[in-house]
Each structure stands twice: as structure tokens, then as C-alpha cells.
Amino acid sequence: MKLFSYKKTQKKNVKILYILPSHYDDDGYPYHFWKGLLPSNTLVCMRALTQKLINEKKLDEKFEVHVEIKDEFVQSIDVDKTVNESKKRNEILIVGLVGVQTNMFARASDLAIMFRKYQVPVIIGGFHVSGVMKLFGPDVPDLKFLMDNGVSLVCGEVEGDGVLATILNDAINNRLQPYYMIPKSPDIQDAPIPVADPEYLKHFMQPMCTIDTSRGCPFNCSFCTIINVQGRKIRCRSAEKILQVIEQNYDNGFFSYFFTDDNMSRSPIWKELFMGLIELKQKGKKIRFMMQIDTQSWKIPDFVRMASEAGCYLVFIGMESINPQNLVLMGKTQNKTSEYAEMVESWHRAGILVHVGYIVGMPCDTPQSIIHDVRLLKTEVKVDEASFFIMTPIPGSKDHKERLERGEKISDDCNHYDSCHETFPHPNFKIGELKKSWLKAWSLFYSKDNIIDILLRCPPEQYWNAFWLTLWNRYSTLLSNHPMSMGFLRKKRRKERRPTMEIESISAFLHRRMKDFINQVKVIMQVFYEYQEIWLLTRKQLKEKRESLASAYSYLQEIRTCLTQILQSNQYTQFVSQEYEQIIQKTNELLLQLSQTSGQMNRKIQRRLEQQLSGLKEQINSFKSCVPNIENLIRFDSLVKKKIICSYEEIMIKSVAHRRKINRWWIGLKHDLSIGRFRWKNMFYIPEVLFFEIFTGLRFAISAVRMK
Ligand code: B12
Ligand code: SF4
């Protein structure tokens, strides 16, 4: 369906093209994907606002104005082609680069200059320009460069009366000002709410709609730009209008939402909105949504319960750190670390998954403390999903301003402000070490053991959501990308490279793409196999087995925490030997618990389990006489993981044992082939392997896609 089509008319046509620019990777290629993860809220908001002006005839009536959108993450932007098409149609082209965050600013500037070469009027808006101009005014070199090249900049939100109409009429009549400073944050009560656009949403893996029900935040975190750009007073849209659009979207087949408010729990309309969604559900129109909230919101009366009834399946919480000192230094004093576990538990009880944002490189962080804190996040706080960000002094934040005032060195490449790069020297980390710690945090959290633990203990009704979310994070991080700014299947164009880097020869580019392809296939295969095993172990239908495995995994986590404490203490004091005794004791308890659960299984499993476990008791107790040095502790860890947990899993779930046997066969075959050895034994297994791979692979793929 085409939402906006051209009419034959006497008036001159004007095309307003809103583009969400991408950003560059470290090799200078813009990020493009075949399918994206999240659609852009700013892009659809800007189109809805402009369409309203067109409908209300607020734009110069001498022209016939049309509006189009393009998201560079998932759609290609060919500047020459776009300009030539407009020329052929004899229409005036106006380009708006929208929602430009700091990490997108370099790409946005390059696109702007490309369009300016054809004299196309270009306007840039979004958080980078707004944040910088609010704190430093327009006299900043990067911004001046653009204005000198005829690009117009917009600082602030444009919903206010006449604001966008003025800018667009100036653009249509070729009289754009170098910049527009919007003095007041507008009331958004009556701002148009974008309706779902199937043409745009088809570029994403799942058709999810976005709505910002409110803007502004009452808190005062020093690393955040919201306070300076959108203000501390909360302004909201009309709940009634939002509900009307949601119902209309439902009737058109769209029922999944991301409410992009920075803090939905402080939105004055949350109750009215949730009540409306509950009523829609009673009418059979079931909506599902995720939202961002703060760490205190679980205490708001009725908030958690109503969110669950209204269809919330995931909350994103800005936890940022588990070190209280860090939180005080960053002004995030509303976060109470001692309450984190209770908070997560309260959301879980309501059947809602908890995803936290976590910053590494806060003032008190060190490489060791990050490892320690991530362990706590897994074992004590028990969140279902975590996104890690490298501490970044984003322009527009108090942190950025203060660093500049103190004369500290910060990166001058905006493209690096994506929370995945080091942008300032941290006193506790050598250069490059912060990035390593950040990667370590991802790999520790998304380790296979923790993913199994998450899937075993998450609310059962959210099993498939947790499954796909963790899978996405694992897949993105294996490809060294941030899951939030990542899509499925990367695209690159040879000639589309950052102007500061040379265009590669065809052969060099083909070589790069071949390497990318092989890496992509490898990662997809790795994730497929890993998750097949994870699914075999954690499937929802194995209710009793899941429960006993869940407690085995939580024991394993506890034992590992003790082991880490011993390893970190580095000296064998009285305390260490007590801890050591404690883990041996805990492991014995684990054995006892596992053999008790065997009573619920069939006789054969029970017998095998008893045989396996009785031999282990002696081995565990033999550790009592060993010194708790590093080698012994590692041996102990491997005994618990391999001999107790793995064999328990294999005895309980036959298909897991089978999967692992075939994995070993593949590894053996690969090894044999690498050294040029041929074994007849390998051939005999081929029919069994093929049958298993096809049968289990298909069963897994169908279950994961149907999510049943
Ligand atoms: C939802 C969200 C996301 C989502 C989706 C974003 C999307 N594509 O919709 C996800 C999860 C993917 C995401 C990821 C990231 N985000 Co984010 N995100 C947001 C959030 C919460 C809401 C965005 C939104 O919908 N705003 C509402 C729209 C309507 O407002 P707006 O974009 O400012 O647009 C208005 C004006 O700026 C102006 N305007 C904008 N463009 C134009 C263009 C023209 C021509 C004109 C005239 C006017 C104009 O008019 C608009 C209407 O008033 C914002 C915070 C916020 N409150 O906005 C952070 C925010 C934008 N994100 C931020 C950051 C840092 C990131 C990440 C780098 C990582 C991270 N730390 O979260 C990644 C980067 C991903 C990427 N490269 O795209 C920062 C950006 C700061 C900066 N200077 O760069 C923000 C401000 C949050 C913060 N705490 O500081 N984000
Ligand atoms: S980080 Fe979150 S809580 Fe803190 S000021 Fe920004 S939006 Fe508000």
C-alpha cells in the first residue's frame, strides 16, 4: 500500500525527504542491513507532523508538497539518483536529516554536503545539534562548517505552534536560516501520533510500532542529555488519542509496541493508558509492549500489576552500575543497589522480563571490578537481559560540559560516541583496556551457562521472548556489534566510504566481503548449534526437569561465586579455607538435591543417576585434603560443571546427550580432515548424524519460529 502518492497538478511539486542517517563502522562503511531491529520513532513523528501541516494547508499553498521517509540503516540513499529523479519530475527537493545522534553526526554531515553540492536545501535536527547548541550556542566548529556550506540546523523540538511550518516554508522558498533555536519545549498534548506504516515496517524483523507518550525526565544523571534537551518537566501526549491510534493499528494487523519514553513510569498518563489497553484486551484486541522505566517504579502502587495486565512483556531499566559510589558520582542517586534483586523479582512475579542498561567505565570501575559486578548481575540481581555501554561523555550532557571546562582530552570524532568506543582516557584503565572490559562484560553475561540459567528461571510465559532476546544479543556480540544498533545481514557498498578513507579496489572490496560472508555464516551456524542445545535443555514442556535443572544452575552460580572470591583473595587465610569448606559443603547439598529429584523420574533414569552421583561424592570430599590453590579450584569447577551438571543433563534429557555426542563427532571429523587423516569409523556414523541433524534441526527451527 502506498501511503502518499503524487497527484497531477498545476502547482509546482515539492518533495520533503526525511532521512535517518546511519553511522560509520571502524572501516568507514555506513551500517546498512537487510532487516533492522527497531524502526525510528523520530522519522515517523516528523512525517506525521509534516503531513498534518500539509492537510491543514499550513505550508505555502503555491506548492504541492509531499513527504517521504528513508531510514539509512535499512534503505539505500543514493544522493545522485535522488537528486536526478527530482530534477526529472521538475520538483523541488528538500532534505531533512532527522534524529541525528552524536554517533550519526559524521554521516549526517557527509550526506548534507553531498546534497548541498546540488544546491538542495538541507536541514539537520536531533539530539546532537540540540545538545551542543543548548550548551555552547551555534558557534562550534563542526556546526559552523555546516552552516557555512548552507546547511540549516534546528535546536529543539518542533511540535510548537508554527515552528515546523516556518522552517519548511523557509526551505520551500529557499530562504532557510543558518539555524533555528527553539526556545521552549513544546506541549505535545495534541501532536499527531504516527500510524503504523507497513511500507516502512516491512524493513524490520518484526513489525513493531513506536510511540513516545511523554518527554522530559525529572532526574539528574550527569551522563544524560535529556535534561538539557527535553527538560526536567514531563510533557505528555493525550492518552485518548494514543489509544485511538493503537486500536486503528490493531485493526490493520499491528499489535506490538515500543513506548520510547525515557521513563514511562513518570508519564502522567500511564494509568489511563494501561486502563485503555486492558479494555482493548477485554474486547479481544491484545496489545504487547516494552517500555523504559526507572529503578523505583516497581514501588508505584498498581504500576507493575497494571503493566502486566495491559500487555507489557519487557521493561528496560537504566541500572547503569551496581557500585553505589559510581551512582552517587554520576548523580543517579535514585538507584538503590540494595533493592535491585527485589526489584527484578517483583517484575518477574508479574511475568515481565527485565532488561537493564549497564555502563562500564564509571569513575570507580576497574577491569577487575567490572568482572566482579557482572557476576553479581548474573547471580544476585538475576536480570534477564543486559546491554553494556562504554561510558561516553555525550555532547549535551553535564559530563561532557564539565570535562571540556576542566580541559580534559576527549575524542573529537563524533562517530565514536556510540557507547562502543573509548572517548576519554580513564585513570583506572590503560588505553584499549576499557573496550576489552566492555567486550568481557558482554561475553560473561551472554555465556552459555548464564543463558541457560536465564531461560530456566524466567517467567514461563516469556520463554520465547527471552530466548530470542538472548539469541539476538549473542549473535550481535559475536559479530562485534552492539545489539541495539544492529540489524540482520550487513550490506556494504564499495563506493560508499567515509570521505576520510580511500575507496578500495574491486579486488580488495571483494576480499573484504568474502571474509564478512564467511564470518557471518560461521556465526549463524555457531548460534544455531548453541541455541539448539540450549532449547533441548530448557524447553518449556519439560516442566519438572526444568525446575530441578534451574536449581542445579543456581547452585552452580553460587559455587562459582565462592570460587571467584577465593581466586580473587589471592592468599590462603582462615577466611579462604572457610569459603573453601563452604563450597564443598554446597556441592554435596547439590548432589543430594539432584538425587532426590531422581525420585520423580522413571526407574532407569533414577538408577543411572544414583550410580553417577554416588561416585562423585567421594571425589568431592577428596578435595577437603587439597590446598585451595588455583589449579585445584579450577579442577573443582570443572568437576562440578562437567561431571555433575553436564552428566545430570545428559541422563535426564536424552536428546542433549545425543546432541553432544554428535558435536564431538563433528569436532573429531574436523580435526581428522585438518591433518589429512581418513577413518572408516567416521563413515558409519554419517546416516545417524544426518538423521539427527535434519530431524532435530527442523524440530528446533519450527519451534523457534512458531514460538510454541
Ligand atoms: C528510543 C531511543 C533509542 C532506540 C531507538 C531509536 C530510534 N531509532 O527511534 C534505540 C534503543 C535503538 C536507541 C539506541 C541508541 N541510543 Co537512543 N534513544 C532513544 C530515546 C529514548 C527516544 C528517541 C525518540 O523517539 N525521541 C522522540 C523524538 C520525536 O525526538 P527527537 O529525536 O529529539 O526529535 C525531535 C527534535 O530533535 C527535532 N528534530 C529531530 N530531527 C529533526 C529533523 C528536522 C529536519 C527538524 C526540522 C527537526 C528535527 O524534532 C523532533 C520532534 O520534536 C532517546 C531519548 C529521547 N528522549 O529522545 C534516546 C537517545 C536519542 N539515544 C541516545 C543514545 C546515545 C543511543 C545509543 C548510542 C546507545 C545508548 N546509549 O542508548 C544507541 C545508538 C543507536 C543508533 N545509532 O541509532 C542518546 C543520544 C544522545 C546523543 N547526543 O547522541 C539519547 C538522547 C538518550 C540519552 N540518554 O542521552 N535509542
Ligand atoms: S539517564 Fe534516565 S533517569 Fe537519568 S536523566 Fe536520563 S532519562 Fe532521566
- CB distance 393 to ligand 1 below 6 Å: no
Cβ–Cβ under 8 Å, residues 415 and 23: yes
Evaluate if residue 1 carries a pLDDT over 50: no
**Residue 125 phi, psi dihedral angles, 5° rounding:** -135, 175
266 CB within 6 A, ligand 1: no
Single-letter code of the amino acid located at 428: N
Question: Which residue lies with its CA nearest to atom 3 of ligand 2?
Answer: 219
CB 606 within 8 A of CB 652: no
95 touches 72 (CB < 8 A): no
Mutate-to-test residue for ligand 1 from 15, 24, 40, 42, highest number of ligand atoms within 8 A of CB = 42
49-81 per-position pLDDT tens digit: 999 999 999 999 899 999 999 999 999 999 999
Question: HEC profile for 386-415?
Answer: EEEEECCCCCCCHHHHHHHHCCCCCCCCHH
β-bridge pairing 353-360 and 312-320: parallel
β-partners of residue 318 are 357
pLDDT digits (tens, 9 = 90+) for 270-280: 999 999 999 99
Q: Say whether pLDDT at 511 is over 90.
A: yes
Cell of 488: 540482520
Please work out, in degrees rounded to the nearest 5, the angle formed at the alpha carbon of residue 152 by the alpha carbons of 40 and 396.
60
Ligand 2 nearest-atom number relative to CA 320: 1
Q: Mean pLDDT across the stretch 651-668?
A: 89
Of 542 and 196, which is predicted with more confidence?
196
**Coil, helix or strand for 94?**
strand
Contact 609, 644 (CB under 8 A): no
Q: How far is the CA of 99 from the centre of ligand 1 (A)?
A: 6
**From the CB of 159, is ligand 1 less than 6 Å away?**
yes
Q: Mean of the per-residue pLDDT values for the chain?
A: 90
Distance 218 CA to ligand 2 centre (A): 8
Q: Maximum Cα–Cα distance for the chain, whole Å?
A: 95
Q: Determine the average pLDDT of the residues in 394-399.
A: 95
For the record, the C-alpha cell of 532 comes out as 539448539
pLDDT at position 550 is 81
Nearest C-alpha neighbor of 593 from the set 576, 609, 615, 575: 609
The pLDDT > 70 percentage for the chain reads 94
pLDDT at 457: 87
- CA dihedral (200, 203, 206, 211) positive or negative: negative
Cell 500539509 belongs to 54
| Any atom of ligand 2 within 6 Å of the Cβ of 53 | no
Q: Which amino acid makes up residue 700? A: F
pLDDT at residue 529, as a whole number: 93
* Alpha carbon separation from 206 to 311, 429, 463 (Å, rounded): 17, 39, 17
Ligand 2 centroid from CA 474, angstroms: 27
Nearest to 284 by CA among 306, 251, 259: 251
Beta bridge partners of 209: 257
Closest ligand to 390 CA? Answer: 1
Report CA(151)–ligand 1 centroid distance (Å).
21
Taking the centre of ligand 1 as the mean of its atom positions, its distance from the CA of residue 126, in whole angstroms, is 7
> Which contiguous run of DSSP H or E holds residue 153?
strand 151-155
Q: Percentage of residues in the chain with pLDDT exceeding 90?
A: 74
Closest-lying ligand to the alpha carbon of 482? 1
Q: Which three cell numbers stand for residue 237?
A: 501526549
Output the pLDDT for position 646.
83
With b for 16 or more beta-carbon neighbours within 10 A and e for fewer, the 280-292 pattern comes to beeeebebebbbb
Q: Is the C-beta atom of 194 inside 6 A of ligand 1?
A: no
Is residue 638 over pLDDT 50? yes
Residue 131 in contact with ligand 1 by CB distance below 6 A:
yes
DSSP output for 272-311: HHHHHHHHHHHTT---EEEEEE-TTGGGSTTHHHHHHHHT
85 grid coordinates: 529523479
pLDDT at residue number 643: 76
Residues 6+ apart with CB under 8 A from 210: 38, 39, 40, 41, 44, 194, 257, 258, 259, 260
Q: Is the beta carbon of 490 within 6 A of some atom in ligand 1? A: no
What is the pLDDT, as a whole number, of residue 289?
97
Minimum CA distance residue for ligand 1 atom 42: 125
Q: Is residue 482 classed as helix, strand or coil in its secondary structure?
A: coil
In this structure, which residue's CA is closest to atom 7 in ligand 2?
Answer: 262
Cell of 595: 538425587
Question: Residue 571 pLDDT more than 90?
Answer: no
Residue 71 makes CB contacts below 8 A (sequence gap 6+) with: 19, 20, 36, 39, 40, 43, 200, 203
**Whole-angstrom distance, CA of residue 353 vs CA of residue 290:** 9
Enter the pTM of the model: 0.91
Total Cβ atoms within 10 A of residue 178: 14
Span from the CA of 7 to the centroid of ligand 2 (angstroms) = 45
The ligand 1 atom at the shortest distance from the C-alpha of residue 104 is 77
Q: Torsion angle of alpha carbons 605, 609, 611, 613, nearest 10°?
A: 180
CB neighbour burial string for 302-324, b if at least 16 within 10 angstroms, e if fewer = ebbebbbbbbbbbbbbbbbbbbe
Average the pLDDT over 180-196 and give the result: 94
The confidence score (pLDDT) of residue 163 equals 97
Among all bound ligands, the one having the nearest atom to the CA of 395 is: 1
pLDDT tens-digit readout, 102-156: 999 999 999 999 999 999 999 999 999 999 999 999 999 999 999 999 999 999 9
Question: Probe ligand 1: pick from 18, 43, 75, 101, max atoms within 8 Å of CB?
Answer: 101
- 4 pLDDT exceeds 60? no
171-185, 384-398, 561-575, 640-654: range with lowest mean pLDDT: 561-575
- Ligand 2 binding pocket includes 583 (Cβ within 6 Å): no
Cα 339 to middle of ligand 2, angstroms:
18
**Residue-wise pLDDT tens digits, 602-619:** 677 777 777 777 777 777
Residues 6+ apart with CB under 8 A from 34: 74, 487, 488, 489, 491
Nearest to 315 by CA among 369, 261, 388: 261
Q: CB-based burial of residue 108 (10 Å sphere; 0-12 exposed, 13-18 middle, 19+ buried)?
A: buried
Q: Which atom of ligand 2 is nearest to the CA of 331?
A: 4
What number is the average pLDDT over the span 454-465? 90
Distance CA 706, CA 687 (A): 28
How far is residue 623's CA from residue 634's CA, in Å, rounded to a whole number?
12
pLDDT tens digits, 28-39: 999 999 999 999
Q: Give the three cell numbers for residue 219.
A: 532526574
292 C-alpha to ligand 2 centroid (Å): 10
Three-class DSSP category at 377: helix
Which ligand is nearest to the Cα of residue 40, counting in written order?
A: 1
The verdict on the CB of residue 287 being under 6 Å from ligand 2 is no
Task: Output the residue whose Cα is nearest ligand 2's atom 4.
Answer: 221
What is the number of residues in the chain?
Answer: 708
Ligand 2 atom at minimal distance to the Cα of residue 294: 3
Ligand 2 atom closest to 318 (CA): 2
Which three three-digit cell numbers place residue 370?
A: 567490572
The alpha carbon of 217 and the centre of ligand 2 are apart by a number of angstroms equal to 6
Q: How many CB atoms lie within 10 A of CB 562?
A: 19
Nearest CA owner, ligand 2 atom 6: 224
Q: Quick one: pLDDT at residue 569?
A: 66
Mutate to test the pocket of ligand 2, among 127, 224, 234, 326 (most ligand atoms within 8 A of CB): 224
Q: How confident is the model at residue 599 (pLDDT cuts 50, 70, 90)?
A: low
For the Cβ of 260 lying below 6 angstroms from any atom of ligand 1, the answer is: yes
Q: Is 103 in the pocket of ligand 1 (CB under 6 A)?
A: yes
Span from the CA of 128 to the centroid of ligand 2 (angstroms): 17
Cβ(671)–Cβ(658) under 8 Å? no
Is 42's C-beta closer than 6 angstroms to any atom of ligand 1?
A: yes
Position 16 scores a pLDDT of 98
Distance CA 379, CA 363 (A): 24
From the CA of 332, give the closest atom in ligand 2.
4
Question: 401 C-alpha to center of ligand 1: Å?
Answer: 19
pLDDT at residue 601 in the model: 61
Rounded to 5°, the CA angle 326-330-332 comes to: 90
- CA-nearest of 15, 3, 26, 19 to 74 is 19
